[in-house]
Structure 1
Amino acid sequence: MLEYILNDHIFVSYICPYLWFIGAAVVLFLEVILDIKAPYGRYNTTNGGIPVRLAWFIQELPSFVIPCYILYNNWSSITITKLIIISFFLIHYFQRVFIYPMLIRGGKHSSYLTTILAFIFCSLNAYSIAEELIVYHIYPNNYLFSLRFLIGTILFFTGFILNLQSDAILRNLRKDNSQRDYQIPRGGLFEYVSGANFLAESIEWTGYAICAGTLPAIAFSVFTWANTAFGRGIHHHKFYLEKFRDEYPKNRKAIIPFIL
């Protein structure tokens, strides 16, 4: 049994993805059904732990470093298709690791446990996605011209751009790092949903799952929808409704425009 678990191909291609599928179900139960909120950001009521900029950098760093390391170790055998697809992953996490934390204004601390768990998840997820894509997966020679690749690429960059826009809207609600009060975000996807940045990121990783076509990428997309979109998005919607009451736009949904 232990030999089976430690088999790299089995671990990367099956064990990690199915752990994320199970994790998605658990997260939906805890966050949506039981209404338990992860203690970071506005839900870290004690504001104890790691400063938000440092926490973001620490927990997201493996998602950039690990794929780069795997890419370096397999450079002699990498195909242009694999290089392009893994570069999408690296583009997202370069922005998330080296740019996004520096742009954060204000923001509460992240608890030590939340940061540690996020670091572990990002490490395993990045390893699973990059190792499967670069080492094990095989793409047809004309894959870059396939409909799957084109649709996935369009969705990925659409989500990426909308995510950047949503983050900028939220960031500009605060004039400086000392401002702590919350305001109603407006513009972009925020005109339709409270969790615009969460919806955008979920669209982004759905596009990547379609584009990459690997089980680890699909599992990550499913987990993102469960944890980030539905879990976090619904909590934010409730937060805004409770805080702003009649001021909050009546037609704005939580995470799915016009539906939920």
Structure 2
Amino acid sequence: MLKYILNDQNFVCYVLPYLWFINSFIVIFCELVLNIKAPYGRYNTNNSGVPARLAWFIQELPSFMIPCYLLYYHWSSVSITKFIIVGLFLIHYFQRVFIFPILIRGGKHSPYLTTILAFIFCYLNSYAIVEEILAYHIYPNDYLLSLRFISGMMIFFIGFILNLQADSILRNLRKDNNQRDYQIPRGGLFEYVSGANFLAESIEWTGYAICAWTLPAFAFSVFVWVNIGIGRAIHHHQFYLEKFKDEYPKNRKAIIPFIL
């Protein structure tokens, strides 16, 4: 039954993406209207659940393994264009699965339910994005030379590099794994927004959506903007304002420089 559903083109190309759109509306309502904060990281007040490094590895792992499996499964029909576009996806998640968790300093535990739900989301999302690209989408022979691909790839790597920079700034605020107090991040995009890492990742997936030009990739980009780019960033901004009060830079916004 599951194999039939996952092999159904409508499910991959339309059902899952529209579920992410619906989920985006639910998330924005819960986070901004009801002020419900996803209980991981600094908002997991009792610090219970899966250790941060292990949680990140577990929940993000499908986003690397599923594309690898699908590349193997469709290998005989994979064009260089599709290989490169999927390769961009794998570049992000190789860093997120195998490098980022090792570098975490003092991260709080992730609740068991949060980790499980994130694992399921990463599984379905990576499957929808990569299966649509490899099995169903048709790219012109000269697509790699198109303005759409080149601009999308450039935006993707700009976001990727800014994301690495923001993660490094946050990580270096703590000297070791035992340090729990929060400090004001400075440098890079943090000079403009409280959620610099969230803005960078949102930019990254916007570039990927332009580059891949598929509904699943676009739906994921929207979900990223809503879930972490807006909701999470606004909560972080409020957290910093409440904690540091007059010390916090007055001109710094939550997610969009000079605007929001």
TM bucket by the smaller chain? over 0.9
Deviation at 1:6, TM superposition (A): 6.4
Corresponding residue pairs, total: 258
- How big is the shift at 1:153? 0.4
Task: Measure how far apart 1:56 and its partner are.
Answer: 0.2
Name the counterpart of 1:26: 26
Q: Map 1:75-90 to 2 at 5 A.
A: 75-90=75-90
Structure 2 counterpart of 1:87, one-letter code: G
**What is the TM-score with the length of structure 1 in the denominator?**
0.98
RMSD, matched Cα? 1.2
Query: Deviation digits for residues 56-88 of structure 1, max 9, x if unmatched?
Result: 000000000000000001111100000000000
**Cα pair 2:195 2:254 within 8 Å, conserved:** yes
1: CA distance, partners of 2:123 / 2:79: 24
Q: Which residue of 2 aligns with 1:117?
A: 117
Query: What 5-or-longer segments of structure 2 have no aligned partner?
Result: none
The equivalent of 1:191 in structure 2 is 191
CA distance in 2, matches of 1:147, 1:78: 22
Shift of 1:53: 0.2
Q: Corresponding residue for 1:175?
A: 175
Counterpart residue number, 1:255: 255
Q: Report the alpha carbon displacement of residue 213 of structure 1 after superposing the two structures with TM.
A: 0.2
Shift of 1:5: 6.0
The percent identity for this pair of structures is 77
Cα deviation digits, residues 30-70 of structure 1 (max 9, x gap): 01111100110000011000000000000000000000000
SS at match of 1:125: helix
Partner of 1:212: 212
**Structure 1 residues 139-161: Cα deviation after superposition (integer angstroms, max 9, x where no partner):** 00000011100110010000000
> Deviating runs (4+, > 4 A) in structure 1?
4-7
- Taking the TM superposition and a 5 Å limit, the aligned residue runs for 1:53-202 are 53-202=53-202
Letter of the 2:154 counterpart: I
Distance 1:189 1:6 in 2: 39
